[in-house]
Amino acid sequence: MSVADEGAVMASDRGSCVNRVSVKVPPFWCERPEIWFAQIEAQFAVGTISSDVTQFNMIVAAIESSIVADVSDTVLHSSETGKYANLKVRIIEGYSESEQRKIQRLLSEVELGDRRPTQLLTELTALAKDNVALGELAKLADN
């Protein structure tokens, strides 16, 4: 889905010109909303979109109605400042796996399968974050 960005207004001798940058917002990724936001923030950086209100509005316009409904209190009653940051936190908190669930998956569900050990280590590291030392993850990946 392509959403037009805020215009940068440039004055010239012949009048004003409005330039718009298009941002392609990927489909929402329920399993890893923090990665989804990283993708969008990369798009914001490329498009030099820094307005809090514009970032907020682009997210609200891009996400599915069921997600908007889940965070409707934040959408409808957001403060004048920090709208995007508040919405981001709310979505990540609502859709990210709990730390307990990540540890449960780490201990019982993660298998090498047809992946390379480095791919398994990457998944284990993402699940463990600060809860398990990297050396312990490497031992788990070797098994």
The answer to whether 23 and 48 are in contact (CB under 8 A) is no
Domain ranges of the chain: 2-95, 99-142
DSSP state of 17: E
Q: Measured between alpha carbons, how far is residue 73 from residues 22, 79, 85 in Å?
A: 28, 11, 14
The answer to whether 101 and 73 are in contact (CB under 8 A) is no
Question: What's residue 142's pLDDT?
Answer: 56
Question: What's residue 8's pLDDT?
Answer: 41
Give pLDDT tens digits along the chain (143 positions). Answer: 444 444 443 334 445 555 566 778 888 888 789 889 999 999 999 889 999 999 999 999 989 999 999 999 999 988 888 999 999 999 988 887 666 666 666 666 667 677 787 887 777 777 666 555 555 545 555 55
Q: Which residue from 99, 141, 104 is spatially nearest to 122, judged by alpha carbons?
A: 141
Question: Distance of alpha carbon 134 from its chain centroid, rounded?
Answer: 24
At residue 8, φ and ψ (nearest 5 deg) are -95, 120
What is the pTM (predicted TM-score) of this model? 0.58
**What's the CA gap between 57 and 23, in Å, rounded?**
12
User: Tokens 């047809």 map to which residue?
Assistant: 114
Burial string for 20-49 (b: 16+ CB within 10 Å, else e) reads eeebebeebeeeebeebbeebeebbeebeb
Question: What's residue 80's pLDDT?
Answer: 84
Question: What's residue 96's pLDDT?
Answer: 74
SS3 at position 77: coil
